[in-house]
Structure 1
């Protein structure tokens, strides 16, 4: 019996020591949060395999083509994990073989991208800041992390007609390498900012966002949308009219965690969801101490493995027009969706390729056929 109690005491001591080590090592300051209520993969988000029809291109040229944009020169551009931004030629929704060429290497990690009115490629670089790349490939830093310690993770960008650059900062606490800690901590320190090229002024417009991610301006720049990955919702800031300066929720209760968002310029916002909501994190919403201990583990061990493909298209009122999914793993961890010339182009942080498929029928069109 004495041996049993001694062994039990040793085990308890080891567990205590291990927990103490995790607690001390953890950089997290977790807070209690309310997990979003979602209908799951049902109703407007019913599971399907429509995304399995995608065609894969640029295989093994690089890892993680996170965003894809079309330039004024007619070429498409995407950025890779190793800092390269590559352009390639497209005809009728097909990549012309052998056309992919390195445009520039930022020396960082290019994520969201958009062209401005002068033909410059504006890049949200997770390591270098907010960049402007001229048509000749000259890189100019617009917003440098070194000049503003509160900036930790610039993620996505869009450009208004007046030249104002809107961009997101995921967190004031964590960067790209340990981004998962921001989702586990749930302290919601993300922000929506703007940069005015004529004055060089940076302004914070929204704070307290739970993992601020994709950014997209609406029709006539009347509002700007920003995805909150950790909250599974899309928030909106009104820029014009009687509601100017007011923020509200465009859509909430998404069954996935939204990444980038883009506007087709007419009537659809495309939202990429690289993963379904983490049931593990949600189950610990009321247990910050346990999440504090999890923060003592290496960040990569906390990243969920999710090979699900998920894309939705929203109307101007936030209603679901398109619902494209696939569990087959053909193309997954989708981080961007951009519509050009009757096709939608998909980017991914995890895939070694880009994907494209013809613009699908809307929910209303499918129902009218049936």
Structure 2
């Protein structure tokens, strides 16, 4: 251990223990990734209280549902007027609408919750496979009611997510929950800040966004390869967050928190520099570019849509959902949800 490393570890107050990694060079911003300003002109619906509608879902009547940093679950009508449905008393993140009209919430502080319109909140899981849920983040729900969800980190809460990204030890998990029995099982571990979850339309596989490695991984759920984990889309142009299950047009939408951060990639091979970075004051931490970005990928993991905004546009985009000609967006820190017209569909085979 060098003197510099010894000093850095002695002064560390975060508990990070980074490992070296070598991120790939970002893909060129050409073709479908060529810069555009589509997200500069979004319609915003402001939360009555709080901020940070991290994810968005659409209920059976076409109304948008989200949760803010004050624990409240909101539903917006078609004109953008909000009604409070419940309060989780935690930090709601991922939102899904269940077949019976209730809502499945991944709460960063309380775990996997089921919420109804009368305000009742049931905890379905606050631990999984023998470990507490440290950073319950996002989910997808199968037609049989089975929940696929992420626990992003074994060491750091969502509020301290940057420490997990700087550490890069891959302690995230993709889990499966049977709400009928309360049983959980592990689908994949060793994930780099496991985040968004998406199901194939035929439910033959499930996808999980790995924020810390700029990729989306795939876990096969059926067939001879059942249980196999593989990289489905790698070297994304930005930092992936939540994602959708496969749409009728065969697409998976992925929210990009920000474009790739050059400084973060530069220090990736140097654990000691990342310890130092973790301990810097917030004002001088590596700062993501505040510009909106969402992408859509086909069933083979190829990017077929890229919608971007300029500096100061609605951002960071952390949630995305399409419905009835609109693309609805959520954000970890904005005071509103947003929507923009859905772009024309490319020629994509919808099957999985």
* Shorter-chain TM-score above 0.5: yes
- Determine if the alignment matches structure 1 residue 355 to structure 2 residue 343: no
Q: Which is worse superposed, 124-133 or 244-253?
A: 244-253
User: 3-state SS of the aligned residue for 2:162?
Assistant: helix
User: 3-state SS of the aligned residue for 1:339?
Assistant: strand
Counterpart residue number, 2:40:
52
Counterpart residue number, 1:88:
76
- Determine if the alignment matches structure 1 residue 22 to structure 2 residue 14: no
Give the Cα–Cα distance (whole angstroms) in 1 for the partners of residues 7 and 18 of structure 2.
19
Equivalent residue for 2:168, pick from 178, 183, 186 = 186
Instruction: Give the alignment of 1:304-319 within 5 angstroms.
Output: 304-319=287-302
Instruction: Give the alignment of 1:1-370 within 5 angstroms.
Output: 19=8, 22-23=11-12, 25-58=13-46, 61-90=49-78, 95-96=79-80, 99-145=81-127, 149-266=131-248, 267-297=250-280, 302=285, 304-362=287-345
Partners of 1:174 and 1:181 within 8 A in 2: yes
Structure 2: segments with no counterpart, 5+ residues: none
Partners of 2:257 and 2:318 within 8 A in 1: yes
Partners of 1:258 and 1:271 within 8 A in 2: yes
C-alpha distance after superposition, 1:209-230 (max 9, x if no partner): 1110000111111110000011
Q: How many residues align?
A: 345
Give the Cα–Cα distance (whole angstroms) in 2 for the partners of residues 20 and 208 of structure 1.
24
C-alpha distance after superposition, 1:310-341 (max 9, x if no partner): 11011122122211011142312000110011
Partners of 1:28 and 1:292 within 8 A in 2: yes
Give the Cα–Cα distance (whole angstroms) in 2 for the partners of residues 147 and 249 of structure 1.
24
Partners of 2:289 and 2:311 within 8 A in 1: no
Partners of 1:274 and 1:332 within 8 A in 2: yes
| CA spacing shift, 1:19–1:32, aligned 2, 3 Å | closer
C-alpha distance after superposition, 1:35-72 (max 9, x if no partner): 13321433332111111232222266431111111123
- Measured after TM superposition, the shift of residue 144 of structure 1 is 1.4
Higher strand fraction: Structure 1 or Structure 2? 2
TM-score, length of structure 2 as denominator length: 0.91
Deviating 4+ runs (over 6 angstroms): 15-18
Higher helix fraction: Structure 1 or Structure 2? 1
Partners of 1:27 and 1:296 within 8 A in 2: no
| CA spacing shift, 1:152–1:309, aligned 2, 3 Å | same
Give the Cα–Cα distance (whole angstroms) in 2 for the partners of residues 38 and 193 of structure 1.
30
TM-score, length of structure 1 as denominator length: 0.87
Q: Which is worse superposed, 38-47 or 308-317?
A: 38-47
- Measured after TM superposition, the shift of residue 298 of structure 1 is 5.0
- Measured after TM superposition, the shift of residue 109 of structure 1 is 0.6
Partners of 1:128 and 1:145 within 8 A in 2: no
| CA spacing shift, 1:162–1:344, aligned 2, 3 Å | same
Give the Cα–Cα distance (whole angstroms) in 2 for the partners of residues 236 and 326 of structure 1.
29
Give the Cα–Cα distance (whole angstroms) in 1 for the partners of residues 160 and 238 of structure 2.
20
| CA spacing shift, 1:168–1:226, aligned 2, 3 Å | same
Partners of 1:21 and 1:296 within 8 A in 2: no
C-alpha distance after superposition, 1:61-115 (max 9, x if no partner): 431111111123443211001111111211xxxx24xx31111110111000112
- Measured after TM superposition, the shift of residue 363 of structure 1 is 5.8
Give the Cα–Cα distance (whole angstroms) in 1 for the partners of residues 154 and 35 of structure 2.
35
